[in-house]
Structure 1
């Protein structure tokens, strides 16, 4: 049966509606030419999605404004206060559905592109490899949100997420182990690497640099710091430019569009109006200080947003002329900080602090910049963690850092926040760091096990 270019099947898959089957529809076009698969992978509305709910969960956000609290929808309130369930029995989880839609689409490409017409073998292999990278990225997001943090001692038995490797709608949705999901991510990435160019034509497309950066991120989460540093070095050998924020201190007119941003290795975005006015935590603002260009450029008073609010909000994405696109994909700065963290953990404080100073020099005006001193490796590690918080606030990456750093007693944090006069506390290693799976999907597919 020929596959048709439409995405309803993907949504049915993610919501577990097995009673539907794949059929050819009148007026639809079937996959035939290699260019069809190229167009499918270049459909950024489908393929560029990252994760969104961690933007509400992390300790870099703090909704103190009463109007914003009153207007927050139930799902986002639940994520913000770390509730045991986020969705009603009929509500869908946007992250879950969009990420599995990427996976379904990637599987469609991998299922048919090698037999497509009017394309060279090299191009077919490249498109197959791109699909593998998109699939790997989506599984990294899913296992990071909906499963326990990787622990070598328990990963083989900890429930991960359903692993779907074909576009077949009639497969088991039983959750694979965390170890299985991570192994699939690594396998896809390593298999994809030979067919990809060092750098992409557009940063929405996968490349060798993206493969290496995602491997570095994946191994970091596995606490395999040797491999994380190895692949961080490989990524930086290809792409190492970072934005010099000093160039925009007096005017942001030339601030690059996301697709032209030399820091972005592989663009993945949050695309929703619900994330245009994220109020930032007061402790984060204090930590930034007023001299850091990430404060002066990427933080704005609530009066600048619509609707307005008291306090300060995240502004960086506005410079990219994209009102609803927050990038939390792979960047050069993240890879630098992965390398710095691995160096600190390897008792190499000089390398770790050297990388921090290289980054920070472009985050302050010369008159306001002071180099960080080289101290102990433990001090360097804490500096790296703090720098990650300053570099990635407002993107959701902080939540995933909190989760993985709970494995380090010295870096674990207890988070408290008050919402509508009720105080909520999140302890290190709390099961609330694992997002619940939508009840809707479990009701339709009882083989999917809920998180505790």
Structure 2
């Protein structure tokens, strides 16, 4: 009991605490231990803003979705500027929220998983949902960390490359090594499968995951592992539970804010669970624009061109199309539009051109002005796949997914991409397979735990 009291006290400091009413009722330190299922639910809910539902954002800054002018870059925090320019020393001694926030969320989940089985057994369905949520959020955190701080997954090398510290206990004295990349991914898969077995099919608010969200994250994980057969399977399972798409003809571009409904309490039917990228000023700076080539790739009748972007008078088009409904908070959770694209790609890779194009066209008809969309056609799956990948990039901008796509597609000769950025008149390139596709582990973590640093 004393050990759990200490864990929970540390957690309160890490998350910023629970609700004021909850703490007022439990002001005696001896009672700062979750004792009921309801306590654990409150703990999870209170941790949403601080660490749960939050995934790294530096990789989105580092992607090729945006351009920034020199004046804007000069004014950015060093960690944001260095991520954008793929610098060798990204952090320059600063705290790394992309590392700290997911691991703080993992700590929260470990507290829940360590104690909830000893809580009130009469709350069976709620206990299952809370436990499932803890598995889900832990898996999502580990997955998102892998996309930034570990090498891209390849079945040929995953057993020999380092993974991440996989912490599955709330004991702060336990030092976890990096293990292998394969072990890290298997932890993600194991947690997500456990979550899928426990989570309910429907929910009331978006910060609490449901079964479809676990299936969707399994589809996303397997896609990043290039296991397209399993990605297809889990995307199909998720879509069987929720296949809703927003008809973009029902939305109105504002020019100053996201045209999408606020996600809370239950405002976006495509979003399977709330998730947001770590907040950085980069995403709301007036001198940061959507990549002009990307912006120019949208047809005039494609409503995403006017709903995702706006010319706010700074010389380029700003991205406003986040599914959180708040342009200052980028959406990073799983959603049904991503599932249609995962399944379309998986069908194409399996040689099922008809099914691949059906999923693609079923999505895109909801994105174009009514009566203007002409369905895509292709003679072969080889022809369909590049079209699907192009539409994937156009649909999922701002979701924190482009970096993973670049990493995984660079493992295929036909999709290798060199990206470049301009800074002070100098063109900086990032070649396929460059070591800068893996962010360094924060120095503080390396010094504390002794784990090996990533080469960069």
Secondary structure of the corresponding residue to residue 144 of structure 1: helix
Contact kept? 2:258, 2:321, Cα under 8 Å: no
**How big is the shift at 1:439?**
1.7
Aligned equivalent of 1:88:
92
Q: Does 1:299 align with 2:304?
A: no
Gaps of 5+ in 1: 13-23, 304-308
Aligned residue for 2:202?
199
Other structure's SS at 1:266 match: coil
SS at match of 1:429: coil
In terms of mean alpha carbon deviation, does 94-103 or 269-278 score higher?
A: 269-278
- Relative contact order, CA 8 A, sep 6+: which one is greater? 1
Moved more, 28-37 or 220-229: 28-37
Mapped contact 2:272–2:335 kept (Cα < 8 A): yes
Q: How many Å apart are 1:118 and its aligned residue?
A: 7.5
- Residues 187-235 of structure 1 deviation map (CA, whole Å, 9 limit, x = unaligned): 1111222221112222211221011101111111111111110111000
For 1:136-285, what aligned pairs fall within 5 Å after superposition?
136-249=139-252, 255-259=260-264, 260-272=267-279, 274=281, 275-277=283-285, 278-285=288-295
CA distance in structure 2 between the partners assigned to 1:247 and 1:427 by the alignment: 41
Instruction: Look up the match of 2:117.
Output: 114
Distance 1:127 1:26, change over 3 A: closer
**Deviation of the 1:173 alpha carbon:** 2.9
Query: What is the TM-score normalised by the length of structure 1?
Result: 0.90
Three-state SS of the structure 2 residue aligned to 1:329 is coil
- Residue 133 of structure 1 pairs with residue 140 of structure 2: no
**Cα displacement (A) at 1:370:** 1.8
**Hey, what's the Cα distance between the residues in 2 that align with 1:390 and 1:376?**
22
Report which stretch shifted further, 267-276 or 230-239: 267-276
Partner in structure 2 of residue 56 of structure 1: 61
Deviation at 1:142, TM superposition (A): 0.8
1:3 is the counterpart of 2:5 = yes
How many angstroms does 1:125 deviate by?
Answer: 2.6
CA distances 1:85-114 after superposition (whole Å, capped 9, x unpaired): 21123x111110000001000000001111
> In the alignment, is residue 393 of structure 1 matched against residue 394 of structure 2?
no
What is the Cα deviation at residue 346 of structure 1? Answer: 0.7
Instruction: Compute the TM-score of the two structures, normalised by the length of structure 2.
Output: 0.89
- Range 174-183 or range 121-130, more displaced: 121-130
Distance 1:159 1:10, change over 3 A: farther
Give the SS at the match of 1:313: strand
Cα-to-partner distance string for 1:324-359 (whole Å, 9 max, x where unaligned): 321011000111101000000011111111111111
2:343 and 2:296 map into 1 onto residues whose CA distance is 26
1:420 aligns with 2:417: no
1:50 deviates by 1.6
Q: Name the residue aligned to 1:47.
A: 52
Q: Aligned partners of 1:7, 1:321: CA distance in 2, in Å? A: 33
RMSD: 2.3
**C-alpha offsets along residues 150-188 of structure 1, whole Å, 9 cap, x if unaligned?**
111110111111000000112223212110011111111
